[in-house]
Structures are given as structure tokens and as C-alpha cells.
């Protein structure tokens, strides 16, 4: 049985090994202290919420998707989580404090606080192209004034912006027009963009759609620095069978699907976008990331960084510390010292790979069995000790009662 001293030494050694793994990456020219950071949306509406992200192991802070003016969003209930934690739905309607709030020096200062080395990034999702252009100009003016430090901007192409038209990312003619107008702005018309621009993409399911979307982004690679894939899977519906009604109030119950269930679609999108996009455009993996394994798989498919959304929503900012630690353990076990050691290096299927996987799973089961046995042995040892002490106490009390000894 392992002694408490031996266990303590093992834990210290593990911590030491984990600290030797470096999760820092550079995304779109922006240094991130960790490749794991938050997705825009959950717990990002205010500086009081975002400052908790800044204090965590998250590599940076991405603010709530902003509109030109503040808005409250859809009526409640607008979110729902399956009891098993595998599925979430949301139809929030972009509740936010408006772009002026998210680029205000006070908001940024309150958010970043004691974490000035981490980047602060802004997300925008205007109701139309005019709104997006207006917000980009506002951000550019704020940066040029020198009053704020905004490291990058994420333009949401994954939400419907024009009534009667599809989501921008699904309407390739509209997407081309949006990118053309964005590229014409003064902040992007010089030899170098004023700030890195990322685009949030919807999930794709057909290879020609991947190709068309990537072709447009590649055409504007001089302004597009990264693509974040994926946004929620649209038009999901969950029913409360007791009440015989949708669980979401807004939009007839139709909502965006997120959580662990979407990870496999997200992995496919990351893999295909990485294959099709120009090397100058980074890919950010997002969708269903709940563990260090999930993050590892995203990076293996080619993601430079990984965003966490629904898990952050459910667990709070502590999820960033946990996921980072889990990823470090995986990397250390595989002999990887940094993210570039395995990024985009997903291997082809082989029989040897299947055999290796089976072996590792068996080793894991044996390790768990051994651990259970050790815990059971320790429990039995403790039980035996307690019983021996009780017998000793009873013997002493009896001896005193019979005047054999005097207490």
C-alpha cells in the first residue's frame, strides 16, 4: 500500500512535470498565455463576469458579441440544459451592453485588472452589414486614440443579420459582399490591418459548402487572420413531454444546439477548414469542448487555439484551470512539450493504431482496478485499526468495572 508520504511525493512530481508543458500559443499574431480561452457568449456580458475569466487559466478574454445599441435579448426561458449535461439549447437573442460598453477603457480596465499580459478581444454581431461596419469603425477609432488595448476583433458570420435572408455564413453571395465591404474600410485598406480580424463560422455539413466558404475567406486573407469553427447548430428543438410544449419560449422553441453533443461536428469542421484555408489564416476550434481530451483532439485536427463556451456556462471560469491541467497531463504523457508538437498531426487510421488504442484502454482499466484495490485495502486497514481501538477501550472499561485496574 502507498504511504501518505509516498503519495505526497508522487503528487509533487506530477505537478512539476505538468509545469514543464507550455500551452502558450500565438493566434493571429496575438500571444495567448494558453491555447484555451473563452468563447463569446456565456458569462461575458459585463466586466464583473469577464474579470473572473481574466483571473483564470484562460489564455485571453473575448467579450460578448456586441450590437450597436444595448439589447435585452429574447424572453425567458431562453436557455435549457439536458440533465445528463450532454446537450444545451439557447435562443438568447444577443443580450449585450452595446459596442460602446465593450470598447470603453473603464470596462477593459475592470476586466483585465491584474492580468495585463493577457489579450482582450471584442466580438461583434450587427443586425445588418451597416451595423457591423459602424462598429468596426468605432473599434478602429478607439484603438487609434491610444486609449484602449484591443488585441483582436471577431466578426460573427454565424447569426442571421438581415430579416428574410439566411445566416451570412450559409449565404455565400451575402458573405462575399460582407467581406468586400469590410475590406474597404480604412482600418483594413493599408499595407497591414489596424487589428487582427477573426470570423465566427457556422457549422457546415457538405464538402462543397466548406470549399465555398474557405474560398471566400482565402480571397480576403489579407484581412482575415483566423476562423473560429463552429457556432451552435441551428434550429434544434427540445420538448417538455409533461407540458407538451417546447422548453424554450422564444421563436417557437427553435434554438441553437451546443454542448458535448456537437463536438464531433466541430472536429470535422476544424479539420476541413484547416485543410482548405490558407496557412496564414489560423483556425480556432469551438464546440463541445468539456475536457482536456476534447481540447487535445481539436488541436490534433489543426486548431491553433480552442474556445470553451457551454462548459464555461455550466461550470464557471474554473473550467479553464481544469481543462488546461488535463491537457497538460495528456501532453506530458505523450512527450509533447508544446502545442506545435502535435497540432494538425492527426494520423491516418491503421490496424497498429487500433491495437495501440486497445492496449491503452486495457492499461487504463487495470490502473483503475489497482487503484480501487489500494483504496479498498486502505479502507480495510483503517477499519481494522478502529475495531482494535474500540476493543481496547472496551477491555479497559471492563477491567475498571471489575476492579482489575483503576482509571
Could you report the per-residue pLDDT of 300-337, keeping only the tens digit for each? 999 999 999 999 999 999 999 999 999 999 999 999 99
pLDDT tens figures, 146-203:
999 999 999 999 986 555 678 999 999 999 999 999 999 999 988 899 999 999 999 9
- List Cβ neighbours of 70 (8 Å cut-off, separation of 6 or more): 96, 97, 98, 101
Residue 17 backbone phi and psi in degrees, to 5: -65, -40
Closest CA to 50 of 125, 124, 110, 93: 110
Q: Is the separation of the CB atoms in 32 and 24 below 8 Å?
A: yes
Scan for cell 429574447, then name that residue.
74
pLDDT at 376: 56
How does DSSP classify residue 75?
P
> Counting beta carbons within 10 angstroms of the beta carbon of residue 171, is it exposed (0 to 12), middle (13 to 18) or buried (19 or more)?
middle
Nearest to 205 by CA among 260, 272, 297: 272
Per-residue pLDDT at 46: 98
How far apart CA 247 and CA 268 sit, in angstroms, is 29
Instruction: For residue 257, list its beta bridge partners.
Output: 89, 233
| pLDDT at residue 3, rounded to an integer | 39
In 3D space, the residue among 308, 307, 281, 303 whose CA is nearest the CA of residue 28 turns out to be 281
Distance between CA atoms of residues 33 and 22, nearest Å: 9
Residue 13 has a pLDDT of: 43
Across the chain, how many H-helices and E-strands are there? 13, 16
By CB neighbour count within 10 A (0-12 exposed, 13-18 middle, 19+ buried), where does 218 fall? middle
Q: What pLDDT shows up at residue 120? A: 98
How many whole angstroms separate alpha carbon 88 and alpha carbon 83?
9
* Cα separation, 39 vs 223, whole angstroms: 21
Q: E strand or H helix at 31, and its extent? A: strand 30-32
- pLDDT of 403 reads 65
Low-confidence residues in the chain, pLDDT < 70:
1-19, 160-164, 369-384, 398-407
Q: How far apart are the first and last CA of the chain?
A: 37
Q: Are 147 and 105 in contact (CB under 8 A)?
A: yes
Q: Which residues are catalytic?
A: 159
Residues 286, 269: Cα–Cα separation, whole Å: 10
Query: What is this structure's pTM?
Result: 0.86
In this structure, what are the phi and psi dihedrals at residue 295, rounded to the nearest 5 degrees? -65, -40
Amino acid at each position: 500500500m502507498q504511504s501518505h508520504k509516498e503519495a505526497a511525493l508522487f503528487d509533487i512530481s506530477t505537478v512539476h512535470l505538468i509545469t514543464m508543458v507550455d500551452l502558450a500559443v500565438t493566434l493571429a499574431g496575438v500571444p495567448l498565455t494558453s491555447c484555451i480561452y473563452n468563447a463569446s457568449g456565456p458569462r461575458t456580458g459585463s466586466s464583473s463576469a469577464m474579470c473572473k475569466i481574466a483571473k483564470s487559466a484562460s489564455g485571453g478574454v473575448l467579450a460578448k458579441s456586441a450590437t450597436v445599441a444595448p439589447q435585452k435579448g429574447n424572453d425567458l426561458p431562453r436557455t435549457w440544459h439536458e440533465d445528463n449535461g450532454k446537450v444545451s439549447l439557447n435562443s438568447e437573442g444577443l443580450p449585450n451592453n452595446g459596442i460602446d460598453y465593450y470598447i470603453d477603457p473603464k470596462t477593459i480596465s475592470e476586466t483585465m485588472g491584474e492580468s495585463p499580459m493577457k489579450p482582450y478581444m471584442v466580438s461583434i454581431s450587427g443586425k445588418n452589414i451597416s451595423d457591423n461596419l459602424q462598429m468596426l469603425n468605432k473599434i478602429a477609432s478607439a484603438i487609434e486614440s491610444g486609449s484602449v488595448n484591443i488585441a483582436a476583433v471577431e466578426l460573427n458570420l454565424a447569426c442571421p443579420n438581415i430579416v428574410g435572408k439566411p445566416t451570412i455564413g450559409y449565404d455565400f453571395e451575402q458573405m462575399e459582399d460582407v467581406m468586400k465591404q469590410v475590406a474597404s474600410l480604412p482600418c483594413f485598406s493599408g499595407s497591414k490591418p489596424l487589428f487582427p480580424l477573426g470570423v465566427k463560422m457556422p457549422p457546415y455539413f457538405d464538402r462543397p459548402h466548406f470549399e465555398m466558404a474557405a474560398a471566400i475567406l482565402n480571397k480576403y486573407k489579407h484581412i482575415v487572420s483566423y476562423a473560429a469553427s463552429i457556432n451552435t447548430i441551428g434550429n434544434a428543438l427540445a420538448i417538455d413531454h409533461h407540458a407538451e410544449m417546447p422548453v424554450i419560449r422564444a421563436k417557437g422553441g427553435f434554438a441553437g444546439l451546443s454542448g458535448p453533443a456537437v463536438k464531433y461536428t466541430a472536429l470535422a469542421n476544424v479539420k476541413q477548414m484547416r485543410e482548405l484555408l490558407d496557412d496564414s489564416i489560423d483556425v480556432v476550434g469551438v464546440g463541445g469542448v468539456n475536457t482536456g481530451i476534447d481540447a487535445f483532439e481539436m488541436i490534433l485536427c489543426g486548431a491553433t487555439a480552442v474556445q470553451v463556451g457551454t462548459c464555461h456556462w455550466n461550470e464557471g471560469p474554473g473550467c479553464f484551470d481544469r481543462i488546461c491541467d488535463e491537457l497538460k497531463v495528456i501532453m506530458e504523457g505523450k512527450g509533447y512539450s508544446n502545442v506545435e508538437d502535435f497540432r494538425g498531426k492527426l494520423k491516418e487510421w491503421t490496424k497498429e493504431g487500433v491495437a495501440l488504442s486497445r492496449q491503452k484502454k486495457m492499461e487504463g482499466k487495470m490502473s483503475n482496478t489497482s487503484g480501487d484495490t489500494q483504496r479498498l485495502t486502505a479502507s480495510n486497514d483503517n477499519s481494522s485499526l478502529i475495531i482494535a481501538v474500540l476493543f481496547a477501550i472496551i477491555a479497559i472499561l471492563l477491567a475498571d468495572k471489575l476492579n482489575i485496574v483503576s482509571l
